[in-house]
Amino acid sequence: MYELVSPVNPFAVLKYTGHLLLVFSAVLLVPMCAALVLGETSAAVIYGSSALISAGTGVLIQKIIPDFELELKEALILAAVTFPLCSLVSAVPMALSAGMPFLDAYFECVSSLTTTGLSLAPNSPTKLFFFTRSWLQWIGGIGIIVLVLGILIRPGTTAFRLYRVNFGESRVRPSVIATARTLGTVYLVLTLISLTLLLFSGMSFYESVCHTLSAISTGGFSTQAESIGAYEGFLIPFFITISCIMGAISFSLYPEVLKNPKTLIRDPQVRYMLGLSILGTALFALTLSGGNSGPEMLGILPDAVFQTVSALTGTGFSTIDIASLSDASKGFLSAIMCIGGSIGSTTGGIKLFRLIVIVQLIRLVFYRFFLPREAITPLKVKSQVVDPDDVYRIMTYVLLYSVVLVFSAFIFMLYGINSADAIFETSSALATAGLSTGITDPGMPALLKLVLCADMLLGRVEIVPLFILFLPRTWFERSSKTGERKVRKDIA
């Protein structure tokens, strides 16, 4: 409880940052190979050089700095550093190969690795550009720490703490290393299923690969300016919707589903997702029709289903022009984006489990009015009793999430953007959804680009680790004697 009273060991953080750079260098080799296949030789050289520099830096750090056992506080800092650092490393080759300003390239890489989908793409993007950002979304979806755990880290306390910070206490295998590899296998299988579906729909191989990587990671980058709206017919939106839902379900649930398929529908998060999708589709269709019901609702329904699922799962594909929507439609999508999918999935937002706990807490408050004061009524989700400390953490997270959202939207409003669009854009970034009203473009002010970058990063690492990263007490020991006496007294 008092671990953060003492500062973190920066050398321990740096040591495992070396592991991170070494693994991420392999990630950069994939765009290099893609550039060779696509005939973009100069880009292949750029990505190959970047991979070599990243690997060399990682090896050098590991050679110079001795081994450390990672404490929980250092694992938190590493989780906070991972996405900003990897975005920075990947932004350099993207800026050089695509001819983008560095800030725009960094924004694109943050959006990719956080699986958001907001874009500052140049006027004439190459095929490599589209593939690279979809590939980075796929990597960001499974989580870079999973790659580190599955490839480089030995079983032990450090592996457990890294896993705990990123995925919590639940495991599908006895060890966290085996669990990380199992989750990676599940992710790969889901990707192959999604790719097969899109190929079956008639989409070309290149576009199927790009959309599969973005759909299963609930990222939402498309090779088309109109997103999924550029494709005719029913099959492609339908299979994309299936892929979004697969990515929004907790990966730890899939091994259980193989043993007992009924586990899927019994899971409270899945049931809430289906319920919200049905209710949300009806409400969104109502806002699209302007409150009118009738035969025209049938024509709206396919777009309403697709857009509701895309927003709820935090994917960010679209089949309609978001900018032309009414404020009511934008407000609805903003709210449903903030909910997100299951904990343990690739989605962002508050997450369904936290929503379920809040709903159960409200229910319990009203229920207790009819019970004696001495009655014991634990808060439960299904058969699981929720610890009071977990409730405090959930309520703190929701409060921080709301504060960040309001503050970010306020900055947008200072630039003359109306409240509906400001809330929509910042909700999309913080929920790592990626839907846009058109505000996000290369010509937007640099401060707003940085605000959206911060929102995307906060949404991906779930706020607390990034806040801890910037706390002075994380890095510097308190010199106040009063503070020291208070800590000793509390511990005693």
Q: Would you say residue 315 has pLDDT above 80?
A: yes
Q: Which two tokens stand for residue 374?
A: 């001495």
- 419: confidence class by pLDDT, cuts 50, 70, 90: very high
User: What pLDDT is attached to residue 3?
Assistant: 46
In a domain, 24, yes or no: yes
Residue 203 has pLDDT above 90, yes or no: yes
Measured CA to CA, the distance from residue 385 to residue 376 in angstroms comes to 12
382, 399, 416 - which closes a domain: 399
Higher-pLDDT residue of 387 and 403 is 403
Q: Amino acid letter at 409?
A: A
Tell me what pLDDT residue 483 has: 47
What mean pLDDT do residues 462-478 have?
Answer: 78
Say how far apart CA 17 and CA 140 lie, in whole Å. 16
198 in any annotated domain = yes
- pLDDT-derived band at 482, boundaries 50, 70, 90: very low
**216 within some domain:** yes
Tokens of 394: 């959930």
Between 333 and 372, the higher pLDDT residue: 333
User: 289 and 386: one domain?
Assistant: yes
Q: What is the mean pLDDT of residues 151-157?
A: 54
Q: Which of 92-96, 166-170, 193-197 has the lowest mean pLDDT?
A: 166-170
| Both tokens assigned to 121 | 């793409």
Going from the C-alpha of 321 to that of each of 171, 213, 318, the distances in angstroms are: 41, 23, 8
* 178 confidence band (pLDDT: 50, 70, 90): confident
The answer to whether 411 touches 448, Cβ cutoff 8 Å, is: yes
Task: Return the amino acid letter for 399.
Answer: L
Q: Is residue 457 part of a domain?
A: no
Residue 159 and residue 189 in one domain: no
CB of 240 within 8 A of CB of 211?
yes
CA 127 from centre of chain = 24
The DSSP-derived string for 4-55 is GGSPP-HHHHHHHHHHHHHHHHHHHHHHHHHHHHTT-HHHHHHHHHHHHHHH
Cα gap 457→462, rounded to integer Å: 8
- Residue 144 confidence (pLDDT): 62
For residue 309, what pLDDT band results from cuts at 50, 70 and 90? very high
Structure tokens at 362: 């409200």
Mean pLDDT of 117-131: 92
Tokens of 450: 């940085």
454 occurs within a structural domain: no
Would the pLDDT of 395 be above 70? yes
Average pLDDT over residues 337-349: 88
Chain-centroid distance, C-alpha 465: 14
Burial zone of 364 (CB within 10 Å; 0-12 exposed, 13-18 middle, 19+ buried):
middle
**Token pair for 46:** 């750029």
The yes-or-no verdict on residue 273 having pLDDT over 60 is yes
Q: Single out the residue in 399, 424, 450 at which a domain terminates.
A: 399
Average pLDDT for 180-190? 85
Q: Check whether residue 152 and residue 177 sit in a common domain.
A: no
Q: What is the mean pLDDT of the chain?
A: 85
- For residue 2, the model assigns a pLDDT of 42
pLDDT, average across residues 190-199: 95
Kindly state whether residues 325 and 184 are assigned to the same domain. yes
Q: Is residue 212 part of a domain?
A: yes
Q: Which of 389, 364, 387 is nearest to 375 (CA)?
A: 364
For the chain, percent of residues with pLDDT exceeding 90: 53
Same domain? For 315 and 241 the reply is yes
Which structural domain range is residue 184 located in? 173-399
Average pLDDT, integer, range 473-486: 59
What residue type is assigned to position 384 of the chain? Q
In a domain, 260, yes or no: yes
Predicted pLDDT at 57? 94
pLDDT of residue 103: 96
Does residue 81 sit in the same domain as residue 98?
yes
Identify whether residues 393 and 275 lie together within a single domain: yes
226 and 116 assigned to the same domain: no
- Inside any domain, residue 471: no
The last residue of one of the domains, among 374, 399, 424, is 399
Would residue 325 be called left, alpha or beta, if left means φ above 0 and alpha means ψ between -120 and 50 degrees? beta
On the question of pLDDT at 148 being above 80, the answer is no
pLDDT at 259: 87
| Amino acid 172: pLDDT | 55
Say how many domains are in the chain. 2
Q: Are residues 229 and 331 in the same domain?
A: yes
pLDDT reading at 199 higher than 70: yes
- Rounded Cα–Cα distance for residues 133 and 87 (Å): 11
Supply angle C-alpha 308, 184, 116, rounded to 5. 35
Question: Residue 346 to residues 122, 129, 461, 463: CA-CA distances in angstroms?
Answer: 27, 22, 12, 16
- At residue 179, does pLDDT exceed 50? yes
Judged against a pLDDT cut of 60, whether residue 491 lies above it is answered with no
Residue range 163-170: average pLDDT?
Answer: 58
